[in-house]
Amino acid sequence: MEIKPGNPQTRTWFGDFLLDMKNTTFAKRIMIQGTGSGVGKSVIVAALCRIFKQDGYKVAPFKAQNMALNSFVTRNGGEMGRAQVVQAEAAGIEPTVDMNPILIKPTSDVGAQIIVRGKVVGNMSAHYYHNHKPELIQVVSDSFFKLAKEYEIVVIEGAGSPAEVNLRKSDIVNMKMAEIANSPVLLVGDIDKGGVFAWLIGTLELLTEEERKRVKGLIINKFRGDINILKPGLDYLEERSGKDVLGVIPYFKDIWIEEEDSLSLEKARYSFIPEKSKISIEILYLPHISNFTDFDPLEEEEDVCLRYVGRGERIGDPDLLIIPGSKNTIDDLAYLKGTGYEEQILARLRKGTKILGICGGYQMLGKEIRDPYHIESSRGRIEGLGLIDAFTVLEKDKITSQVKAHLEKNKFFSSKGKIKGYEIHTGRTNLLKEVTPFFRITERFSRPVNIKDGAIGKEGRVFGTYIHGIFDDHIFRRDFLNYIRKTKGLPSYFPSRKVSIRERKEKEYDKLADIVRRSLDMKKIYKIMGL
């Protein structure tokens, strides 16, 4: 959909649609809003999706607008936020772009790439997008009601806080979405950050009377300590707000759920002393890092020590250094050059560290990145790290597809490990001379293809690929890690417990549902929903 100022059809359509709604049967719905960002809305929505699934309902998640650099490609090639993919997995259904019709991927502090129903509509300044968000009401409404016709329950997630009074007129994701969906709202506050009572009461005070009526209950998240000490505060909260406290969810660390955005990577920035019998892996924390969920499976391997190298931190002495995906490859490459990381990378390579680049990180490994259409930057070109004999041209068309691939025949790996993954990139990388590809893509959009992907350079010391999710497959993951072990002089290692990402996710969703079910008054929530 093209965003055009002052589209009169939007207002006419919306009024007619609300009238038609009264004669149509739709799914029951519940909306989770929060007192701010990072209070746990996404995880609670995932938990409710799992609970409703366990209780026998056909349930789907929905978030009108998501701002995140972590994205996913659907079976049909549409791009959407990973948070809604996680929620769809918890619900046991295939993710579709209707679950997240608008995705905003920041490219700078004041600009972003806007993706509508899975397709890029362009790069926009924050000011331009803010002024024309109301033109997208039809898009989010269509997507929501499509889900509402197909499912018995839709769990809606808000964004940030509904009390941002400066955004109220252009809101399409919080109370405006609750109005469109005619949904009751549960308001979540994070007690671990402190000031949760003021946060909840203050949020309610800044809502209009009609908006406050939509809030049917309060939830306190991330509580640590003795619940009896909290009880007087809960009583006061109910008396002061006139809203029921529907539960207190404890702070938990032992449940593995994919994170929504890079802010949560703070937990991964820790110091460690690598053990000689283990592989040390470091990942560069780029300013525009994206799709860092690629590396979650590595954290589960018994013989891996993993850390993220944050801004200003020096690269250590890793066996493998990973340059991850980026939403702004040119600016992030300039960051590596301007902050001394380029010299550190080259120094580590000379000392034996292996280098892996994924997507934007792969593009950085070449000799040059060209941006003739200024898709990412005002720069027309930038010199790469020069570790692979290749150059990349950023083009207008974006490739988004799920793929199947296998390792290309090479002298470094004996296996032809098969993988499933997905591509999200605008650049096309051209290999020079006799560079060995890393993978061969055999399937795109469920159709057979024969496409070379990635590259192996510097005598098996540098690897690059466009494919996200390569470590999800335990066979390839172990082959790659054992290659690193071999070059380190360690024997191959085969854990007795094979880490199946799919099986592990299922167990974690059940664990999450169990703790949230025990923490919330689900009978009241069902009653609020009219069930």
Are the CB atoms for 402 and 418 separated by under 8 Å?
no
Span 496-508, pLDDT tens digits? 667 678 888 999 9
Are the CB atoms for 163 and 202 separated by under 8 Å?
yes
Are the CB atoms for 186 and 217 separated by under 8 Å?
yes
Q: Where in the chain do CATH 3.40.50.300 domains reside? A: 28-256+508-529
Q: 162, 157, 140, 185: which is closest to 13 by C-alpha? A: 140
Half-sphere exposure of 282 (CA within 13 A, CB side): 23
What is the DSSP secondary structure assignment for residue 468, as one 8-state letter?
B
Q: 521, 517, 518: which is closest to 246 by C-alpha? A: 521
Residues 6+ apart with CB under 8 A from 56: none
HEC assignment per residue over 184-239: CEEEEEEHHHCCHHHHHHHHHHCCCHHHHHHEEEEEEEEECCCHHHHHHHHHHHHH
Return the percentage of the chain with pLDDT > 90, whole number.
Answer: 70
Span 144-157, pLDDT tens digits? 999 999 999 999 99
Task: Please name the CATH architecture into which domain 278-489 falls.
Answer: 3-Layer(aba) Sandwich (3.40)
Half-sphere exposure of 455 (CA within 13 A, CB side): 28
Determine the straight-line distance between the first and last CA of the chain, rounded to whole angstroms.
Answer: 36
What is the DSSP secondary structure assignment for residue 302, as one 8-state letter?
T
- Residue 264 reports pLDDT greater than 60: no
- Phi/psi class of residue 269: alpha, beta or left (left: φ > 0; alpha: ψ in -120 to 50)? beta
- pTM score over 0.85: yes
Q: Residues 97, 98, 104, CA angle at the centre, nearest 5°?
A: 60
Of 114-128, 197-211, 467-481, which has the strongest mean pLDDT?
197-211
Question: Average pLDDT of the chain?
Answer: 89
Q: 162, 166, 144: which is closest to 154 by C-alpha? A: 144
φ, ψ at 475 (rounded to 5°) = -70, -50
Is 49 among the residues known to form the active site?
no
> Residue with structure tokens 């029921």?
244
Are the CB atoms for 284 and 322 separated by under 8 Å?
yes
Q: Residues 262, 264, 270, CA angle at the centre, nearest 5°?
A: 105
Tell me what pLDDT residue 33 has: 98
Q: Where in the chain do CATH 3.40.50.880 domains reside? A: 278-489
What is the DSSP secondary structure assignment for residue 262, as one 8-state letter?
G
Range with the lowest mean pLDDT among 109-113, 446-450, 492-496? 109-113
Residues 6+ apart with CB under 8 A from 409: 416
Q: Six-digit token pair at 528?
A: 């609020």
Q: What is the Cα–Cα distance from 189 to 195, expressed in whole angstroms?
A: 9
Range with the lowest mean pLDDT among 46-55, 247-256, 328-337, 358-367? 247-256
Instruction: Write down the CATH superfamily of domain 28-256+508-529.
Output: P-loop containing nucleotide triphosphate hydrolases (3.40.50.300)
Choose the catalytic residue: 288, 305, 359, 425: 359
Cα 233 from chain centre: 34
Cα-based distances in Å from 422 to 72, 76, 340: 8, 11, 32
Range with the lowest mean pLDDT among 10-14, 110-114, 144-148, 299-303? 10-14
Q: What is the Cα–Cα distance from 164 to 172, expressed in whole angstroms?
A: 12
Q: 281, 257, 301: which is closest to 498 by C-alpha? A: 301
- Residue 110 reports pLDDT greater than 90: no
Choose the catalytic residue: 49, 288, 425, 468: 468
Is 468 among the residues known to form the active site?
yes
